[in-house]
Amino acid sequence: MTETTQMRGVLSPVITPFKADLTPDANRLIAQCRWLLSQNVGLAVFGTNSEANSLSVDEKLMLLDMLVEAGLDPKRMMPGTGACALSDSVRLTKRAVELGCGGALMLPPFYYKGVSDEGLFRNFAEVIERVGDDRLRIYLYHIPPVSQVPITLGLIDRLLKAYPGIVAGVKDSSGDWNNTKAMLDAFPGFGVFAGQELMLLDNMRNGGVGCISATANVNPGPIHQLYANWESSEADRMQADVAATRKFIQQFPMIPSLKQIVAHYSGDAGWARLRPPLVELTAELSTKLLDGLAERNFAMPGLPKVQKGAAD
Amino acid sequence: MTETTQMRGVLSPVITPFKADLTPDANRLIAQCRWLLSQNVGLAVFGTNSEANSLSVDEKLMLLDMLVEAGLDPKRMMPGTGACALSDSVRLTKRAVELGCGGALMLPPFYYKGVSDEGLFRNFAEVIERVGDDRLRIYLYHIPPVSQVPITLGLIDRLLKAYPGIVAGVKDSSGDWNNTKAMLDAFPGFGVFAGQELMLLDNMRNGGVGCISATANVNPGPIHQLYANWESSEADRMQADVAATRKFIQQFPMIPSLKQIVAHYSGDAGWARLRPPLVELTAELSTKLLDGLAERNFAMPGLPKVQKGAAD
């Protein structure tokens, strides 16, 4: 197996901008990704918060190609490549490897419910075998509140034994620290990312490698600072600070709120668009969100401003 | 709006055969569909029981094209065209209309949970507007046990008012007769299909138009006979007979069982293959299933036999 550097740190499931006709807007996305990298936050493009499952495979491939063509470092990218259809997962994962992405974040197939670990093992094994490239680094995506299909400890154990190195880690978005802790304890050296920053410090103190968090889309700098300084005496205070921001934002519908915040702080109203079935915030909620952030002196330093209407 | 005949009767969510490399097998599928039509059962290809969400959009388009090229009547087809991504739903639905399909069975986008009726309305409205063809007939697919995203009465009401005629009916796979009855009562003339044959007679007696049932894959003749004779004095006995067969089969995992039954009665073992995350029956369950059917004198008259290994 090729020696590679394990992915670590804070990653953002980058929100996906849409043009007025609801096609994905590669230029806005490139600018946003460049800004996130400047804040030391990696690119978990095509995550849940990216509306990735509202994009076709072709749309995802186009965006990923354009991000790499734009000169962004693929080693900082962990695109979501897990789909319901095996053929889609293979196609996306293969391209991610070809482009040199640091990892691939894989949902299990999520349409059929109550499926067996044997069936899930076969799914991931088929993807790994068909991609057939030692550079592949799979991060399993455990997000039962949305996917309704869990990644169990037993499944991880079996995959790690069959594909050591290739199966590189997990994103635990269960929201259950006991589950994250169980993964950390069971698989030393496995790349365990917390699913949000509320558990970032606990995760680091127990052998984890970072977090992949929705709110890293809007608050990347402070979350990275916590990651970078988790062993310092300031860590608990920093954890409390990022947690306060997170807890305020997560009172609102997450994806529309992230887009509304970027739209507001960039001065680019087009950022607020979502694809169905998601809908934008009501005017009332939007005001409450933005007023609350202003009261907290929230800022997005260095956020690129797209000239009004230029990208529409 | 173009005058069309509303789809009625019994349809089968046709199981999808796979070759040894797990690519879809168009030739086996064509033969199976031809047999189902010979039994007076229509083709709800790409349904839940078709493992449709384990197929890519390109694979579905290829299969649909080949079914129509093979001379099967598109008016008897109601392909599943609802996907998580708006762009995928539009592409599939557009092709179904272009090919002259009698209807399109549409799942809501099913990744994001707890979405609003407003978001779901926008999803279906965007598909209808982008397909932009008066021949389109949408059947909404309500299957909350699997999709976890319901089609509410309020959503149907709003869609019917915005797109009368185009929004043609529903498949109710909730398993809740009270819900089916509520749809029948609220929307007279709406094409309500029961999600299985257990409620076929009740559905017909209350103004429904038929059923779309997993077990129509293996027991099409008797279910169609019940549909065709629902007003006869024999109807209750016929309902009891098809219900007994259904209740026996549904004790086993449905999709692997349907495939195992077809594999057995056609003598074509390749039919038993499934794509991950689904897995085949254990030998023990398979024996129990097939022995039980033999005891019941179950038969599949006229089922085509593929020469052993010919399609592999």
pLDDT of residue A5: 66
A250-265 pLDDT, tens digit each: 999 999 999 999 999 9
pLDDT of residue A6: 84
Residue for token pair 């559905």:
B203
A193-223 pLDDT, tens digit each: 999 999 999 999 999 999 999 999 999 999 9
Count of domains for chain A:
1
pLDDT of residue A267: 96
By Cβ distance, the residue of A86, A145, A276 closest to B126 is A276
ω into residue B24 within 30 of 0, thus cis? no
Asked whether residue B53 carries a pLDDT value surpassing 50, the answer given is: yes
How many Å lie between the alpha carbon of B69 and the closest alpha carbon of chain A? 24
Asked whether residue A249 carries a pLDDT value surpassing 50, the answer given is: yes
Inter-chain contacts counted by CB atoms under 8 A, chains A and B: 117
Q: Higher model confidence: residue B227 or residue B310?
A: B227
B147-182 pLDDT, tens digit each: 999 999 999 999 999 999 999 999 999 999 999 999
Residue B184 amino acid letter: L
- Burial annotation B237-264 (CB, 10 A radius, 16+ → b, else e): ebbebbbebbebbeebbbbbbbbbbbbb
Asked whether residue A140 carries a pLDDT value surpassing 50, the answer given is: yes
A95-123 pLDDT, tens digit each: 999 999 999 999 999 999 999 999 999 99
The pTM score is 0.96
By Cβ distance, the residue of B22, B116, B126 closest to A86 is B22
Q: What is the mean pLDDT of residues B88-108?
A: 98
Q: Is A132 on the interface with B (CB under 8 A)?
A: no
Q: Is A228 on the interface with B (CB under 8 A)?
A: no
β-strands B9-12, B42-43: how paired? parallel
Give the pLDDT band of residue A19 (cuts 50, 70, 90): very high
By Cβ distance, the residue of A54, A88, A112 closest to B277 is A112
Residue for token pair 């929100």:
A15
Residue B131 amino acid letter: V
Q: Is A275 on the interface with B (CB under 8 A)?
A: yes
DSSP secondary-structure letter at B76? G
Interface contact A277-B56, CB threshold 8 A: no
How many Å lie between the alpha carbon of A231 and the closest alpha carbon of chain B? 37
DSSP secondary-structure letter at B220? H
Asked whether residue A309 carries a pLDDT value surpassing 80, the answer given is: no
Q: Is residue A302 part of a domain?
A: no
The residue count of chain B comes to 312
Asked whether residue B308 carries a pLDDT value surpassing 70, the answer given is: no
Selecting among B139, B141, B227, B265, the annotated active-site residue is: B139
pLDDT of residue B276: 98
B213-268 pLDDT, tens digit each: 999 999 999 999 999 999 999 999 999 999 999 999 999 999 999 999 999 999 99
Q: What is the percent of chain B where pLDDT is above 70?
A: 96
pLDDT of residue B78: 98
pLDDT of residue A153: 98
Assess contact for B220 and B40: CB atoms under 8 A: yes
Q: Is residue A237 part of a domain?
A: no
Give, in degrees to the nearest 5, the angle at Cα A51 between A50 and A55. Answer: 115
Angle between helices B86-98 and B57-69 (to 10 degrees): 10
Query: In this structure, what token pair is assigned to residue A225?
Result: 């600072």
User: What rounded mean pLDDT belongs to chain B?
Assistant: 96
Name residues whose C-beta falls within 8 Å of residue A123's C-beta, 6 or more positions apart in sequence.
Answer: A86, A89, A108, A109, B276, B277
Q: What is the mean pLDDT of residues B302-312?
A: 69
Asked whether residue A286 carries a pLDDT value surpassing 50, the answer given is: yes
- Other C-beta atoms lying within 10 Å of the C-beta of residue A65: 13
User: What rounded mean pLDDT belongs to chain A?
Assistant: 96
By Cβ distance, the residue of A109, A276, A277 closest to B277 is A109
A65-77 pLDDT, tens digit each: 999 999 999 999 9
Q: What is the mean pLDDT of residues A229-251?
A: 98
How many Å lie between the alpha carbon of A109 and the closest alpha carbon of chain B? 7
Interface contact B53-A84, CB threshold 8 A: yes
Q: Is residue B17 part of a domain?
A: yes
Find, in chain B, the residue whose alpha carbon is nearest to that of A91. Answer: B56
Q: Is residue A37 part of a domain?
A: yes
The CATH number of the domain holding residue B48 is 3.20.20.70
Residue span of the structural domain in which A38 resides: 9-229
Give the pLDDT band of residue B2 (cuts 50, 70, 90): very low
Sheet holding B9-12, edge to edge: B42-43, B9-12, B210-212, B191-194, B167-172, B138-142, B104-106
pLDDT of residue A304: 87
Closest CA to B46 of B90, B94, B96: B96
Q: Which residues of B touch A118 (CB under 8 A)?
A: 279
Strand-pairing partners, residue A192, are A170
Asked whether residue A266 carries a pLDDT value surpassing 50, the answer given is: yes
Give the pLDDT band of residue B106 (cuts 50, 70, 90): very high
- Other C-beta atoms lying within 10 Å of the C-beta of residue A298: 16
Query: In this structure, what token pair is assigned to residue A167?
Result: 């199966």
Q: Is residue A246 part of a domain?
A: no
Q: Is residue A168 part of a domain?
A: yes
Q: Is residue B267 part of a domain?
A: no
Torsion of CA A79, A84, A89, A92, to 10 degrees: -50
Asked whether residue B123 carries a pLDDT value surpassing 80, the answer given is: yes
Give, in degrees to the nearest 5, the angle at Cα B83 between A194 and B101. Answer: 170
B185-213 pLDDT, tens digit each: 999 999 999 999 999 999 999 999 999 99
DSSP secondary-structure letter at B106? E
By Cβ distance, the residue of B56, B57, B146 closest to A112 is B146
Asked whether residue A2 carries a pLDDT value surpassing 60, the answer given is: no
Closest CA to A71 of A43, A106, A105, A52: A43
Find, in chain A, the residue whose alpha carbon is nearest to that of B280. Answer: A119
pLDDT of residue B3: 45
Interface contact A85-B55, CB threshold 8 A: yes
Mutate to test the interface with B, among A18, A49, A56 (most CBs of B within 10 A): A56
Give the pLDDT band of residue A186 (cuts 50, 70, 90): very high
Q: Is A62 on the interface with B (CB under 8 A)?
A: no
Q: Is residue A306 part of a domain?
A: no
Asked whether residue A1 carries a pLDDT value surpassing 50, the answer given is: no
Interface contact B54-A111, CB threshold 8 A: yes
Interface contact A277-B85, CB threshold 8 A: no
Q: Is A111 on the interface with B (CB under 8 A)?
A: yes
Assess contact for B32 and B15: CB atoms under 8 A: yes
pLDDT of residue A87: 98
B residues 17..46 contacting A (CB < 8 A): 22
pLDDT of residue B307: 62
Give the pLDDT band of residue A308 (cuts 50, 70, 90): low
pLDDT of residue A297: 97
Please give, one letter per residue, the 3-state secondary structure of B176-209. CHHHHHHHHHHCCCCEEEECCHHHHHHHHHCCCC
